[in-house]
Structure 1
Amino acid sequence: MFGLQKGRYRARLAGTDADLRAAQRLRYVAFAGDSAQDDSAAIDADSFDDRCSHVLVEEVASGRLVCCFRILPLAHGGEITQSYSAQYYELSPLADFEGPIVEMGRFCIHPEAQDPDILRIAWAALTRYVDEEEVKLLFGCASFKGTDAGAYLDAFAMLKERHLGPKRWLPRVKAPNVFRFAARLKRKPDARIAMRRMPPLLKSYLLMGGWVSDHAVVDDHMNTLHVFTGVEVGAIPPARKRLMRAAAQ
């Protein structure tokens, strides 16, 4: 299902406790930033890890883990309250979504790994899975580093102008601390600045026709601002879908 090798990298499912711990360690290194050096044994772990499948992207030659993410398959929208995202967003509008849905979370790339092919093989592996399992919706939390919304005003203004979710699916506020960018921002976004400040994973979602919530959650624990992001597989632009499927072969 996730067994895919392209050039220098391969994607596979974690199969052992050691695999999972390696992913949790990489997550800590990626999310904790400079403080990751303070504790060489620290990991990022939560109660959802045991319920998810974990995808590892490794260098073929060295076996070094350079990227990981986890997926939580759900049978339909009625199960969305079981997701990680449901801790932060009131997702009842999506309860009527029909067909298999998958939450993608804890996506990270090692800070020292800059090769764009890493992101490409991660998406190629996910594309293969989506096709095989006939997934209808991908969703998750797309994160901005830090909790200062002022650093990302053009990015949020662009999300408001071009990428808000359909009203019938739009998540409602649940978290105690949120930035209601769709209601508060009146500015016209500077597209150049907006795209420079947009997280790479969110850019990938948007290229696939993805949409976002109208507010960002201020997550002090993870030191991030995040928006709920959904990608309706049937709405992915045909040209983009062809490119993704070609990469998954």
Structure 2
Amino acid sequence: MQPVTLEENAYHEGAAALPPASQLAGNLSGEAVLGRIGPLLVRLARSKQEIAAAQSIRYKVFYQEMGARPPAAGALEERDADRFDAICDHLLVIDSSLPGAEQDRIVGTYRLLPQEEAAAAGGFYSEDEFELKALVARHPGRRFLELGRSCVLPPYRSKRTIELLWQGIWAYCRRKKIDVMTGCASFPGTVPAMHAEALSFLHHFCAAEGSWQVRANPARYMPMDLMPEEAIVARQALFAMPPLIKGYLRLGAKFADGCVIDREFGTTDVLVVLPVEQISDRYISYYGAEAERFAG
């Protein structure tokens, strides 16, 4: 990603209070490492201090680097925080070679919201932009996981870090018995026409179909079919995609009908729909083989 981000639609409520360490979401926070490549490891946050450090990294990337507009409380504390932080698991990338306390070694983060935690809180974060509730209702036997707020500090934006994050996510999904991954991914800017070919490619060739079909909320719906199918040059469209969206495409993800403009974050958002059973076999083998030993 331009920076490495899977940004969601965001409504912020200031720097929300952090949960007590004993109440960290997901009940996996105290467990073992979820992945490791060289000096980098990935695991879940284990303390309020580590969640605060992840929020600080998000602030640096989203607000200071990408130019999002922080709410007053977030700007004062220089943290990107909202009410969902208290119910999410926070996946952390840690560089064990750095000096200092463990929270000072955090170089990347990804926020994970399992379905049961979302239900207790009144819904998923992405429901503000997309009709995700209807999608979940059509699959009562499936366990959904919402991914979001992904960011990595500039020196660590490499293929290795992305692989480590996916290794951790795959181990997490195995532990939590996740069936479907979803979440918003973003194009920079608030003018969909600037990404006409890429958005049109997603609409014509990568749309979620059948029982996986989902739309942007009517009040926020913006069309993605900005070019006719025959005018799209696939190579050009893929080249224009943010790297995170390319990554989802490689895994076999599909996308909702319609995009949404997020003016606070200055992005154009699309919704990813990725049933685990549809992940390409070669990526299951690639990420799963190493992640399997961390999934127990």
User: Under a length normalisation based on structure 2, what TM-score does the superposition of the two structures give?
Assistant: 0.76
Structure 2 unaligned runs (5+)? 1-30, 99-103
The CA distance in 1 between the partners of 2:117 and 2:41, in whole Å, is 30
- Indicate the SS of the match to 1:122: helix
Q: Deviations over 1:207-234 (max 9, x none)?
A: 1110101111100011111111111001
Q: Which moves more between the two structures, 77-86 or 102-111?
A: 77-86
Q: Which moves more between the two structures, 1-10 or 153-162?
A: 1-10
For the 8 Å contact 2:131–2:214, the answer to whether it is kept is yes
Q: Deviations over 1:121-157 (max 9, x none)?
A: 0000111111222211000001112212222112112
Question: How far 1:35 sits from its partner (Å)?
Answer: 4.9
Q: Is it true that 1:26 corresponds to 2:57 in the alignment?
A: yes
- Give the corresponding residue for 2:45: 14
The CA distance in 2 between the partners of 1:198 and 1:125, in whole Å, is 24
Q: Deviations over 1:6-51 (max 9, x none)?
A: 1131101111111111111111111122658x96951111111001
Q: Which moves more between the two structures, 83-92 or 191-200?
A: 191-200
Question: How far 1:237 sits from its partner (Å)?
Answer: 1.8
Q: Deviations over 1:165-219 (max 9, x none)?
A: 013222233263332113x432532223322221222212111110101111100
- Give the corresponding residue for 1:170: 213
- Give the corresponding residue for 1:66: 107
Query: Relative to 1, partners in 2 of residues 1:47 and 1:145: Cα closer, same or farther, differing over 3 Å?
Result: same
Structure 1 unaligned runs (5+)? none
The CA distance in 1 between the partners of 2:119 and 2:106, in whole Å, is 35
Query: Relative to 1, partners in 2 of residues 1:41 and 1:77: Cα closer, same or farther, differing over 3 Å?
Result: closer
- Give the corresponding residue for 2:19: none
Query: Relative to 1, partners in 2 of residues 1:186 and 1:72: Cα closer, same or farther, differing over 3 Å?
Result: same
Q: Is it true that 1:235 corresponds to 2:256 in the alignment?
A: no
- Give the corresponding residue for 1:133: 176
The CA distance in 1 between the partners of 2:179 and 2:83, in whole Å, is 25
1:86 aligns with one of 127, 134, 156: 127
- Indicate the SS of the match to 1:168: helix
Query: Where has structure 1 moved over 3 Å in runs of 4 or more?
Result: 38-41, 75-81, 175-178
User: Under a length normalisation based on structure 1, what TM-score does the superposition of the two structures give?
Assistant: 0.89
Instruction: Give the AA of the match of 1:233.
Output: V
- Give the corresponding residue for 1:101: 144
Structure scoring higher RCO (CA < 8 A, sep ≥ 6) equals: 2
- Indicate the SS of the match to 1:181: coil
Query: Relative to 1, partners in 2 of residues 1:40 and 1:86: Cα closer, same or farther, differing over 3 Å?
Result: closer
The CA distance in 1 between the partners of 2:148 and 2:131, in whole Å, is 17
RMSD (Å), alpha carbons:
2.5
How many residues get paired?
247
The CA distance in 1 between the partners of 2:217 and 2:67, in whole Å, is 30
Instruction: Give the AA of the match of 1:238.
Output: D
- Indicate the SS of the match to 1:151: helix
The CA distance in 2 between the partners of 1:65 and 1:218, in whole Å, is 30
Percent of aligned positions that are identical: 28
For the 8 Å contact 2:216–2:256, the answer to whether it is kept is no
For the 8 Å contact 1:93–1:170, the answer to whether it is kept is yes
Query: Relative to 1, partners in 2 of residues 1:229 and 1:22: Cα closer, same or farther, differing over 3 Å?
Result: same
Q: Is it true that 1:47 corresponds to 2:78 in the alignment?
A: no
- Give the corresponding residue for 1:204: 247
The CA distance in 1 between the partners of 2:54 and 2:217, in whole Å, is 29
For the 8 Å contact 1:179–1:215, the answer to whether it is kept is yes
- Give the corresponding residue for 2:11: none
Q: Which is richer in strand?
A: 1
